[in-house]
Amino acid sequence: MQMSRIAICAPATPITRSHAEALQNLVAEEFPEHSVEFHPQCFAVDGHFAGPDALRAEALVDCANDPNFDTVWFAKGGYGSNRIAQAAISFMNEHARQKTYAGFSDCGYLLAALYRHDIGQSVHAPMPVSARSERGREGVRRSLRWFAGDTSGLEPSLDGKTPAVAFNLITLCMVAGSPLMPDVTDHVVMVEEVSEHLYAVDRLFFQLTNLLEPGIAGIRLGAITAVPENDREFGQSAEEIAQYWCARMGIPYLGRAQIGHTVDNRVVPFGLASPAAAT
């Protein structure tokens, strides 16, 4: 069992002291091999954000460059990590290149940028903000187990032979074509979405399948949750939308993935990962 010294910062939106206490209690009770330290910036508030852009970038760089930590775990998504990603990356040192960076949703901007620049190990994984609820804690446990070397929480389709990445759909659409976008040639690209109408999911797939480089290994669809009601039925399910655009653009559709804004959200290390342990 591996020990991980975990630094937590909030590149997008803030958390509360009660969120932090819930995680600290969970770690103390069930994962004593780990240590967690919340950067004070996690609790800063500046309108929508966990402090101004400069403060959020500084906290991320502090955590990344500190040799006393093995892992940087993003506290919460929301919106905002895109505003600091390029600046933060430019200040990261050699210590930053040895770390694991974990999170998902809006923090996919950072995971993409880190992967593009070969800085550490980017990992799509549940985040600390979920530690206050019993259902949420199971996802948090999945991340903590993976930090300790337990592969049982990995996305089941990972085979150890084909590299993969995992993103929120709208986040990846925003990243594609930007200076944050990594090379995903020969990768399985996994996407999930929350709180979008199905017509918006269709629109996003149109954009994404036109922007992705030819030569990806294929697309897997994660959970599409909290879909708002529209004034008329769209006429296709989320999976049918994914299949339609993959077929139209000549991209292999590989089926479903267990990622998303759900309790079943699995861990996906970017690049190659050992297959999940049998459960």
* CATH number of 142's domain: 3.40.50.10740
Q: How confident is the model at residue 275, as a pLDDT?
A: 74
Statement: the pTM of the whole predicted model exceeds 0.85: yes
> How far out from the chain centre does Cα 131 lie?
16
- pLDDT tens, position by position, 158-205: 999 999 999 999 999 999 999 999 999 999 999 999 999 999 999 999
Range of the domain at 235: 164-269
CATH code (residue 171): 3.50.30.60
> How far out from the chain centre does Cα 8 lie?
14
Which three-class secondary structure state does DSSP give residue 168?
A: strand
Q: How confident is the model at residue 276, as a pLDDT?
A: 66
Q: Is residue 64 part of a domain?
A: yes
Q: How confident is the model at residue 3, as a pLDDT?
A: 85
d(Cα 129, Cα 30) in Å, to the nearest integer? 17
- pLDDT tens, position by position, 27-59: 999 999 999 999 999 999 999 999 999 999 999
Backbone φ and ψ of 112, nearest 5°: -65, -50
pLDDT over threshold 70, residue 77: yes
- pLDDT tens, position by position, 198-256: 999 999 999 999 999 779 999 999 999 999 999 999 999 999 999 999 999 999 999 99
Number of helices (H), then strands (E), in the chain: 8, 10
Contact 154, 124 (CB under 8 A): no
| 108 and 195 co-located in one domain | no
- As for how many domains the chain has, the answer is 2
